[in-house]
Amino acid sequence: MKQESKAQIYLDFNATTPLSSDLAARLGEVAIESWGNPSSIHWAGQKSKKIIREARQFVAQSLGVHPLEIIFTSGGSEVNNQVLQSVFEKSRASGRNEFITSKIEHPSIVKTLQHLKSLGAIIHEIPVDLDGSWSWSAFEKVLSERTALVTVMLANNETGLVLPIRQISEKAHAVGALVHTDAVQALGKIPVNLKELGVDFASFSAHKFYALKGAGALYCRKGLDPRPLIFGGGQERQRRGGTENTLGIWSFGEMSKRASEVSAQAEKMLALRDRMELKISQLIEGVRVTHQRALRLPNTSSLVIEGVDGDSLLMSLDVQGFAVST
């Protein structure tokens, strides 16, 4: 007797997303066309260069910035490392050696700041309350003319909390500090306009919104010149060495063209999320929704269940065909 296979339900989209079916269907054709080295001046290289140029325009347009403010990388972690290390190297000679961040950042921010601390940087971590409120009093207490950079994520990958980046930028710029936001989780889920947010740097990763892994982008405001993290053949206007990932960058650009569809989908997603959280709370005792009343990504729910081990619950759900994270 044939055993029925369980349905597989993927609910871990903040970890990574499946490749868009439309992109998957076109992948082979684009790969055949874009095999040339974009740095080469001959016809094969120029085909790849054209694909990258168009993708840069699509990404920039979706973010409300100029194409020359976009630098392609391997992903968000690389960008986070580049921005933090570059700012530290350039600012410490002028007496600005302090960094302000939140206590809920991605490990690529946390560990890079730990490294900079070993080199003499002073790190201030701002708490976020249980209700999702940013501690303005703690922020204003440490913000000063010694602050080199404020680095705070736009949206949290675990709870979905959306942080007040525009207001943070305004206060940081008032004392001459630069501002970086890790916006990896935001793009493709909520509208992201970098000019409105007022940041100087931002990080993005293609695989978080239905594009290929191995491609990301650094937004660098015009007039700033971050030092490269990877030295090489002068790619990306001397700011990121190494032959570009043409196929990954193409997929990044194609999905960026669809960013305008986000607002139309967000309302429906938000209603589904709230309905799911309500049903779970009604069915299971001791459930708490993290930052329930705060502004959150419409696709993200973080549930705390009293008396239950998270890893054990994840394994049980996996056996039932549900893919989630803790």
* The two domains 9-16+260-323 and 43-259 share their CATH topology (first three levels equal): no
pLDDT tens per residue, range 31-70? 999 999 999 999 999 999 999 999 999 999 999 999 999 9
Q: What is the mean pLDDT of residues 151-176?
A: 98
Identify the pLDDT of residue 187.
94
Q: How many Å apart are CA 216 and CA 74, to the nearest integer?
A: 5
Identify the pLDDT of residue 274.
96
Residues 4, 10, 11: CA angle, nearest 5 degrees: 135
- DSSP secondary structure code for residue 243 in this structure: -
Residue type, 176: G
Token pair in block for residue 235: 């790619």
The model carries a pTM of 0.95
Q: How many Å apart are CA 287 and CA 72, to the nearest integer?
A: 41
Q: Taking all residues of the chain, what is their mean pLDDT, rounded to a whole number?
A: 95
- Which stretches of the chain are DSSP H helices? 21-33, 43-63, 76-91, 107-118, 136-142, 165-174, 194-197, 235-238, 246-256, 262-283, 310-319
- pLDDT above 80 (res 72): yes
pLDDT tens per residue, range 265-305? 888 999 999 999 999 999 999 999 999 999 999 999 999 99
- Of 4 and 130, more confident: 130
Q: What is the mean pLDDT of residues 174-203?
A: 98
Phi, psi at residue 191, to the nearest 5°? -60, 135
**What residue spans define the domains of the chain?**
9-16+260-323, 43-259
Measured N-to-C along each axis, helices 246-256 and 43-63 cross at an angle, to the nearest 10 degrees, of 30
* The architecture CATH gives domain 9-16+260-323: Alpha-Beta Complex (3.90)
Identify the pLDDT of residue 2.
53
Q: Which of 79, 102, 216, 81 is nearest to 150 (CA)?
A: 102
Identify the pLDDT of residue 4.
59
Q: Which of 190, 209, 321, 195 is nearest to 267 (CA)?
A: 190
Residues in the chain: 326
Q: CB under 8 Å to 259, separation ≥6 — which residues?
A: 62, 187, 188, 191, 192
Q: How many Å apart are CA 224 and CA 146, to the nearest integer?
A: 19
CATH number (3.40.50.2300, 3.40.640.10, 3.40.50.720, 3.20.20.70) of 43-259 reads 3.40.640.10
Q: Of the given ranges (170-174, 200-204, 302-306), which has the lowest mean pLDDT?
A: 302-306
Neighbouring C-alpha atoms within 13 Å toward the C-beta of 261: 7
pLDDT tens per residue, range 76-97? 999 999 999 999 999 988 989 9
Identify the pLDDT of residue 7.
87
Identify the pLDDT of residue 260.
74
pLDDT tens per residue, range 44-55? 999 999 999 999
Contact 88, 116 (CB under 8 A): yes
Contact 56, 253 (CB under 8 A): yes
Q: Return the SS3 of 305.
A: strand
Q: CB under 8 Å to 229, separation ≥6 — which residues?
A: 78, 81, 82, 85, 86, 240
